[in-house]
Structure 1
Amino acid sequence: MKQAAHVVQRDVSIAIAGSGGSGVMTAGTWLLDAAARAGLYGLMVRTSGPQIRGGEAAALLRLSGAQVESLDDAFDVLVALDWQNVHRFADEIPLRATSVLVCDADAGEVPAVFLASGARVVALPLKKMAKAAGSWINMLALGISGALAGVPQAQLEEAVRSGWKRDGDGLAANLRALNEGCLAVAHLAGSPLTGSAGPRRWLLSGNEAAGYGALRGGVRFVAAYPITPATEMLEWMAPALARTGGCLLQAEDELASINMIIGASFGGVPSLTATAGPGLSLMTEGIGLAVAAEVPIVVVDVMRGGPSTGIPAKSEQSDLSFAVAGLHGDAPRLVVSPTSISDCAATTHWAVQLAEALQCPALVLSDQFLGQSQAIVRAPELPEGAPQRLVAPAHAPGYKRYANTENGVSPMAIPGTPGVTYTADGLEHTEGAIPSSQAADHRKQLDKRLRKLTGHDYGSRWADCEGDAPLAVITFGSATGPVREAARRAAAQGVEVRVIALRLLMPLQAAALDRALAGVERVIVVEQNHGAQLLHYLRGAYDLPGQPASFHHPGPLPLRPAEICNALVAWAREEETLA
């Protein structure tokens, strides 16, 4: 950054990094809050070392006058409170030659990885300045990063006042430190980012959005065991459920969690659990029971790097294969995936409604990026109405719980309803719920369980389809944001692409995909995992046009718009050459 004017643009990316206890997440959260108050949009991604809690951490932000769904390719500002173990995620904070790096003059040498970018280094006595103000270093960092980002100081102060919950003189000291931070870089800061009043906006994480969607969808019982990165969803839902007459129970493990929600749902209460990959593995047998007994449940899987314990605090879309093919036997179920932080609310709401209507398990594939990131978004719009489960009336004549109906959905009796008693378990059964090993009964129930999912009309929500170019990108989940931005950048270079972001992954909507791909000559599949799982799943279930290409890499590095754009442009140029 020869002059700081580069930070005053349509959007700006800021990283605040430091060791455990330095408060970088608080500074990042309050900076995002201030941006929202200024009429801006924004995104904050959390990153930390392998220890999950404590140790080094960084808050990665992107602020803009328009809604953003992904991080940018590099950061305009890095405020480093110290250099303790920052190398563990240095590759997640690339800088430009025009960037500004603000660091503590007494913290030692700037790591070579940051110096190599050519960024301008501004060394300040941060700890001494914070001590003189009687506050903490993260409040100084808030002022510095806010000033360089172009967020008005008045909104920064409002965010501090709103976020400070303690009594005493701490608030005044924090505001002094904030002001000192703003003054320290006043010679570098330019004009503020332009915000607007616009529609009502919310500041929330994907985990909070998913919890909100579940509650609005009708969930009133949650049983779960804490696990990174899904725990915040449970923490948010516990008091929210209590206010709506429901409850959350912390189970002793994931096996107990899945069995508890099956029991609650069997009793007539829409139920949910949230977990991550290791927990999902333990829930496999329980999910199979819900398939066989046709009990509606929702399982939110906030995916993280694997296998095994893997990388708990980093994002990866690597549970897809398990979600669509991980149960024993022929076990049809719903698998959906939100396409953005805001969409976590709508998709989880939809999952609850679908599970109840179709009497089956619904898996929601979120991930660490969506779940733990915070964003300023337009208020989610969700349909009204309770979930519609087909319930058997009392004394229904000739009641058969698993009657082979035309659409595959049969009335479910709530325990205690007179005259419609039945047994539900994992054994194959007759239409009347009597255990059976007869081939005819097995085939009839297999057909029934599959038919109710494949014959349902999912409407237009199965995917977001954008554009009509002959080259198409298929993606899902958190990869959607960088893909959309990459498509816009490619269009600016004369390369038009069609984007299809799948929301309903199972059952795959072949007929709808046919329509969405009409006129497409070739497809590239973009995803964040090592094995190109989405590409292999699609090729196994559908005939993709042309010779499908793949763009994929595992976590923990996020997908960047520039790398996807470059791949799209190169891919299009290759097609032109071959033509």
Structure 2
Amino acid sequence: MNAHSDHANNISFAIVGSGGAGAMTAGAILLEAAGKSGWYGLLNRSVGPQIRGGEAAALVRLSTKPASCMSKQFDILVAIDWKNADRFINAMPVASGGLVICDPAAGDPPKAVLEADCTIVQCPIGELAKSLPGGRENMISVGLVTQLVGLSLERVMEVVATKLGSKGEAAIENGRACIEAGIQAAAGFGHAISMAPPAEKTCDRWLITGNEAVGLGALRGGIRFAAAYPITPATEVLEYLAPALASVGGALVQAEDELASINMIIGASFGGRPSITATSGPGLSLMMESLGLAAASETPIVVVDVMRVGPSTGIATKSEQSDLNIAVYGFHGDADHVVVAPLGVADCLFTAQWAVHIAETLQSPVILLSDQSIGQARVLIDKPAEVSFLTRRKPFEKADEPYKRYAVTADGVSPMSIPGQNGGQYTADGLTHTERGAPSSARHDQRIQLEKRRTKIEGFDYGDHWGVAEGDDGSDTVILTWGSLTGAAREAIDALAAEGISARLVSLRQILPVPLKALEGALAGAKRVLFVEQSFSGQFYRHIRAHIDLPYEVRSLNREGPYIIGPDEIATQIREWKAQ
């Protein structure tokens, strides 16, 4: 039988197990094999609050077209075991008519599964694994899903051979035996889900996470130094950059804490090396004083904040968009700076490269707001187009007169020397200063430098990169969002269009300064505007409302983490609103 009929373009499954059971590895193998077969897809991971150990789940969506967010429900749930699964099983509800496969030796399924409208099939996953040399329960699970969704065994084995190649031929053959045992077991379930054949590939595909894409974008932008202290969920940015920087003559330093890391990149940038750090909310809080130093001294740096649920330690392994306020307003004093946010995993590459360009061009700190839902998601995407920016600091070139490091210029950007450059000496610190950099307590100097820094930030031509405006141009209904929820909003608009309901999307990549003219133009003709954001207090709505008039009927769909707002919720809001 089929789980339910609407699987022409999408199949979603979850593999659950305790820490060390290999659920994430199984999900990653299946996603990569689907990519080799021509499908798209994404993998999110769900783990408990303890970060390491305990419960874990691989959440996978396969699709015939690029997938930008996880499904609301799962067609297949494979439980290697149920240890601590009750803590997070609500994050992976089984679809009506779905299939749950569990080992009878692993105990009873959680209440949420028993009450679901699904078919529960018992499969001795542990016994099957023990019966085979080098048997692994997660590889049995790979076989189960391979059979149920119609993946090619040979494509799966291509991936397994790559991942186990260093362990020798015996390990690969043991893996094949486990997968074949899983396939045989699933063949007896009488349950299959068929998806449309994959489209023919028209370009190369990448399998990449948002954090890796940020690292690559930073590297392409010219970053040659990084310093950071590991923190969930940003650590993978650093793991990518460590070898990548070394390969281009750069370096990464693991600092003793977040305060040290930001001060290191300020120092490296002062010395002429484009620099970056990556952190999450608690680390960004610690960096605020030094971010003010970078703003006042006009030292270009990029700070990546992969947001998680807060405040305090919050839920380190889950996603939220609630660091917007601190990124925009957290600086003390009037410290003009730039905040940007990628619109999805693929856009992490472009936005990181753009952030470096802005920082270097404007000699300003730039905060890039990613989050866990895209930072740690592994996604199959079409190879992104390569972009090029004419990124160059305005250099100090001659010493015909005393050097004015902070000279007032038409665009607010002053020539920047590097240490040791003949005639380029200046005082660099966080004090209010004259154009030459000498400390000053005069109101005149304070005002001149404030105006100068504001001029360069607000007067810069950010071009068409401010965000996206998509959908039915004639619609009077707009979904206004930012960052990682762009994908869910896109899918909501597609679903509504299929029902004959028109709406359009406006999503911001440029958070600060607010792109006023572009945003007002994108909202022209709107009568209804639905704000969509993943924050309890509606930070994005309040931020935009502070900068532009909203002469429309406005509603807000905002919620705290950890459960991500999905396309169905957005579509329901628009559907009900238009029906009134």
With the shorter chain as reference, the TM-score category is over 0.9
Alpha-carbon offset, residue 544 of structure 1? 1.9
Map Cα deviations across residues 401-451 of structure 1 (whole Å, 9 max, x no partner). 111111101101111110121011100111111111111111111011011
Q: Do structure 1's residue 485 and structure 2's residue 491 form an aligned pair? A: yes
Q: Could you tell me which residue of structure 1 aligns to residue 153 of structure 2?
A: 153
- Could you tell me which residue of structure 2 aligns to residue 61 of structure 1? 60
Matched, 1:401 2:405: yes
CA distance in 2 between partners of 1:26 and 1:556 (Å): 23
What per-residue deviation string (whole Å, max 9, x for no partner) do you get for residues 340-383 of structure 1?
10100100000001100000000000000111110001112232
In the aligned structure 2, how far is the partner of 1:21 from the partner of 1:171?
19
The CA deviation at 1:149 is 2.3
Which sits farther off after the overlay, 560-569 or 348-357?
Answer: 560-569
- Cα deviations across residues 64-116 of structure 1 (Å, max 9, x unaligned)? 11000001121001001111111111111011221011111211212221121
Match of 1:566 among 569, 572, 580: 572
2:183 aligns with 182
Q: Which amino acid aligns with 1:80?
A: A
TM-superposition CA deviations, 1:31-54 (whole Å, max 9, x none) = 111011001100100110011011
> Residue 328 of structure 1 corresponds to which residue in structure 2?
332
Structure 2 residue aligned with 1:577: none
Instruction: Report the alpha carbon displacement of residue 193 of structure 1 after superposing the two structures with TM.
Output: 4.5
Which segment is superposed worse, 99-108 or 388-397?
388-397
Matching of residue 21 in structure 1 with residue 24 in structure 2: no
| Aligned position for 2:311 | 307
Secondary structure of 1:411 counterpart: coil
Indicate the residue corresponding to 1:540 in structure 2.
Answer: 546
Corresponding position: 1:169 with 2:170:
yes
Match for 2:170: what amino acid?
D
Instruction: Tell me the equivalent position of 1:281.
Output: 285
C-alpha distance in structure 1 between counterparts of 2:194 and 2:384, whole Å: 31
Gaps of 5+ in 2: none
Is the contact made by 1:36 and 1:376 (CA closer than 8 Å) also made in structure 2?
yes
How does 1:164-563 map onto structure 2 within 5 Å? 164=164, 165-167=166-168, 169-186=170-187, 187-191=190-194, 193-195=196-198, 196-384=200-388, 387-467=391-471, 468=473, 469-563=475-569
Contact 2:307 2:319 in 1 (8 A): yes
The separation in 1 between residues aligned to 2:53 and 2:288, in whole angstroms, is 32
- Report deviation, 1:180: 1.1
Q: 1:123: which partner in 2? A: 122
- Give the letter for the 2:221 counterpart: G
What is the letter of the counterpart of residue 357 of structure 2?
Q
Tell me, which stretches of 5 or more residues in structure 1 are unaligned?
575-579
Amino acid at match of 1:129: L
1-structure distance, mates of 2:122, 2:452: 68
Flag the 1:25–1:396 CA change in 2: closer, same or farther, 3 A: farther
Question: What is the DSSP-based 3-state SS (H/G/I as helix, E as strand, rest coil) of the residue aligned with 2:553?
Answer: coil
**What CA distance in whole angstroms lies between the structure 1 residues aligned with 2:552 and 2:2?**
48
1:366 aligned partner, one-letter code: S
Report the Cα distance in structure 1 between the residues aligned to 2:262 and 2:33, rounded to whole angstroms.
40
Matching of residue 9 in structure 1 with residue 8 in structure 2: yes
Q: Which amino acid is 1:545 matched to?
A: P
Which amino acid letter does the alignment assign opposite residue 577 of structure 2? W
Which residue identity lines up with residue 138 of structure 1 in the other structure?
N
Q: Distance in 1 between matches of 2:7 and 2:572?
A: 26
Please give the secondary structure, in 2, of the residue aligned with 1:133. coil
Contact 2:411 2:456 in 1 (8 A): yes
Deviation at 1:558, TM superposition (A): 1.4
* 3-state SS of 2:345 partner: coil
For 1:180 and 1:235, the matched residues in 2 are separated by 36
Kindly provide the CA deviation profile for residues 530-567 of structure 1, in whole angstroms up to 9, marking residues without a partner as x: 11100000111111231321001111111121111101
CA distance in 2, matches of 1:237, 1:357: 22
TM-score (norm. length: structure 1) = 0.97
Q: Following superposition of structure 1 onto structure 2, how do residues 26-175 of structure 1 map, counting pairs within 5 Å? A: 26-134=25-133, 135-164=135-164, 165-167=166-168, 169-175=170-176
In the TM superposition, residue 155 of structure 1 has moved relative to its aligned partner by 0.9
1:85 and 1:336 mapped to 2: Cα distance? 38
Taking the aligned partners of 2:241 and 2:76, their CA distance within structure 1 comes to: 35
Q: Identity of aligned pairs, percent?
A: 48
- Using the TM superposition, give the Cα deviation of residue 158 of structure 1 relative to its aligned residue in structure 2, in angstroms: 1.0
Q: Which amino acid aligns with 1:242?
A: A
The one-letter amino acid of 1:290's match is: A
Distance in 2, matches of 1:70 and 1:104, equals: 30
Q: Determine helix, strand or coil for the equivalent of 1:530.
A: coil
Partner AA of 1:493 in structure 2: E
CA distance in 2, matches of 1:265, 1:118: 58
> Residue type of the partner of 2:44?
V
Q: CA deviation at 1:517?
A: 0.9
How far off its partner does 1:4 sit? 4.3
Secondary structure of the residue that 1:71 maps to in structure 2? coil
Partner of 1:87: helix, strand, or coil? helix
Aligned partners of 2:4 and 2:97 also within 8 Å = no
How far apart, CA to CA, are the structure 2 residues paired with 1:3 and 1:513?
46
Paired amino acid for 1:451:
T
- Output one character per residue of 1:223-280: Cα deviation in whole Å (capped at 9) or x when no partner: 0000000001101110011001000000000000000000000001000000000000
Aligned-pair distance for 1:198? 2.2
Greater Cα offset, 318-327 or 167-176:
167-176
Aligned AA for 2:290? G
Between the aligned partners of 2:530 and 2:193, the Cα distance in structure 1 is 41
SS at match of 2:423: coil
Q: Give the partner amino acid of 2:140.
A: L
Change (3 A) 1:530 1:461: same
Q: Would the aligned equivalents of 2:4 and 2:96 in 1 still touch at CA under 8 Å?
A: no
TM-superposed CA distance for 1:518, in Å, is 1.1
CA contact (8 A) 1:151 1:192 kept: no
Q: Name the count of aligned residue pairs.
A: 573
Amino acid corresponding to residue 272 of structure 1 in structure 2: I
- Judge which range, 236-245 or 178-187, deviates more: 178-187
Deviations 1:309-355 (A, max 9, x none): 11000011110011110110001111000001010010000000110
Structure 1 pair 447–320 and aligned structure 2 pair: CA distance change class (3 A): same
